[in-house]
Amino acid sequence: MRAEAIKGHVDLLVLSVLQRSPAHGYAVAERLRKRSSGVFDLAEGTIYPALYRLEGQGLVESRWRTVGGRRRRVYRLTTAGEQALSGRRRHWDAFATAMQAVLS
């Protein structure tokens, strides 16, 4: 998937995968790859800064976890994150609908 296409939608994607259950950055990337059938193959330089951004906005929160000697920072949605997610879903729907209207 070309980079520019997902601009402005990465946060929505990340929030969406975190809604099901908390996850660390690497797992977020994996879930996105899997759930999109490989279409969203986001670089680390995309996913981690996105998580920092979301944490800065208070939409996710994190804590360190050590599993088998590996440090993981596990993120989960905050209440504000849940609300933001539902708003962004509606925003996406409006966008996709408008795109469809122009393209049809």
Partner DNA sequence: CTTGACGATTAGCACCACTAAGTATACGGT
Partner DNA sequence: ACCGTATACTTAGTGGTGCTAATCGTCAAG
* Binding interface with a second copy (CB under 8 A): 1-9, 12-13, 16-17, 32, 35-37, 39-40, 89, 91-92, 94-99, 101-103
Inter-residue contact 24 to 65 (CB < 8 Å): yes
Who's near 6: CB < 8 A, 6+ residues apart? 13, 40, 42
Residue 27: its H or E element: helix 25-35
Least spacing, CB of residue 31 vs a second copy, in Å? 8
Least spacing, CB of residue 13 vs DNA, in Å? 9
- List contacts with DNA (CB under 7 A): 1, 3-4, 6-11, 24-27, 42-46, 48-50, 52-53, 67-74
Least spacing, CB of residue 22 vs DNA, in Å? 11
* Closer Cβ to a second copy, 44 or 93, answer by number: 93
Which of DNA, a second copy, none sits in contact with 42, Cβ below 5 to 8 A by type? Answer: DNA
Name 65's bridge partners: 72
58 vs 83: CA distance, rounded Å: 11
92 vs 104: CA distance, rounded Å: 18
